[in-house]
A = this chain, B = another copy of it.
Amino acid sequence: MSGSTYGKSFIITTWGESHGKGIGVVIDGCPAGLPLNESDIQAFLNRRKPGQTKYSTPRKEEDKVSILSGVFEGRTTGTPISIVVHNENQRSSDYSEIASYYRPGHADYTYDQKYGFRDYRGGGRSSGRETIGRVAAGAIASALLRELGVTVYAYTKSIGPVTIDYKKCRKDFTITSPFFMPDPEASAMAEEYVMQKLNENDSVGGIIECIVTGMPAGIGQPVFDKLDADLAKAVMSIGAVKGVEIGDGFASAQHTGSENNDSFYYDGTGKLAKLSNHAGGIAGGISDGFEIVLRAAIKPTPSIARLQHTINKNKENIEISVKGRHDPVIVPRAVVVVESMVAVTLLDHLIMGMSSRLDYIKDFYRGR
């Protein structure tokens, strides 16, 4: 019950510590027959790899993926897919000091409170490397969603005070931007801002937006397992996320009903449309067939070189400076993680959606 499993139909279980032998995921419930090879997954993992720009840690993490089970002759077999990324260059000696105190903004203290001790090397299980398993699962979920015509796209909406407008978003520029910020001008401004804070031995946060297109209407569950509730959990479970909103989110709290309601209409061709999408594609926990829009607030990197107060295990007040070079901003590398968790959640609900009506089940089993 330590909660390393997520999903009800497409079920992922992650394992691994930053400086253990490896990081991995087991995916149970992936339907049989999906074409899959390691390069499909590697492409996703590469999007979260560090060391690609000056704004991410220069640590060398190759993160080479291996599929150990569940794929035969290039297709998924329907049985569990086990994926592993072996850790390299685990220089545990770097972490002798960290073992003795609690870094502000990290989970060092809470892990010790829960477990009595912790694998202190590189954050152990609370390391950002834990997301490797999520992203590998997300790559598979995304491949399957593509087969169903569903596309999940996440990007950096804000870095500190620099925010872009989705309407001006240039998707093709996403991977060119060091921040996955699909607006060249804003991306350049963000570079300047991050550089400044980095020089001040500080770090910054930001906002990731995720847009889903092609989602059929009628997917989700009506009460606790609402599609938006599960998306909120999925995204909030990512390390540095401190807030999640759907559609207009917190802004809708200041709107009136007449401003916030989305009116349906049939357009000239008789196709169903909405005058607006303040709801972000979900009503009553169930998709309405329009774009699903979700945002996640990412806190600034807690590891900063600036001097900070904290305590050590001898119950002393001390001052520390977190050594080593760390990402001055977590946001860019978290983009693919948000996208992955959204993909896994949508797929889970799409599978569950196949049995909501008796006629669906009867159609399926007719003649079988």
Contacts and interface: CB of A to CB of B under 8 A. Distances in A.
Interface in A286-311: 286-289, 297-304, 306, 308-311
Interface in A196-231: 197, 200-207, 216-226, 228-231
A351 B362 CA distance: 10
Contact of A264 (B34, B304, B306, B309): B309
- Among A203, A222, A258, the one with the most B-chain Cβ atoms within 10 Å of its Cβ is A222
Given A6-B224, A304-B261, A242 B245 contact: yes
Contact of A233 (B125, B233, B256, B286): B233
Interface in A266-290: 266, 270, 272, 275, 279-280, 282-289
Given A286-B114, A355-B9, A68 B222 contact: no
B261 A105 contact: yes
B216 A368 contact: yes
Given A284-B107, A315-B270, A317-B265, A225 B20 contact: no
A106 interface: yes
A297 B245 contact: yes
A243 B244 contact: yes
Chain A interface mostly = mixed
Contacts of A258: 201-203, 304, 306, 308
19 contacts: A13-B28, A14-B223, A15-B82, A107-B222, A110-B284, A125-B222, A158-B253, A201-B258, A204-B256, A204-B257, A224-B234, A226-B236, A242-B253, A255-B300, A259-B300, A260-B302, A265-B311, A266-B315, A351-B361
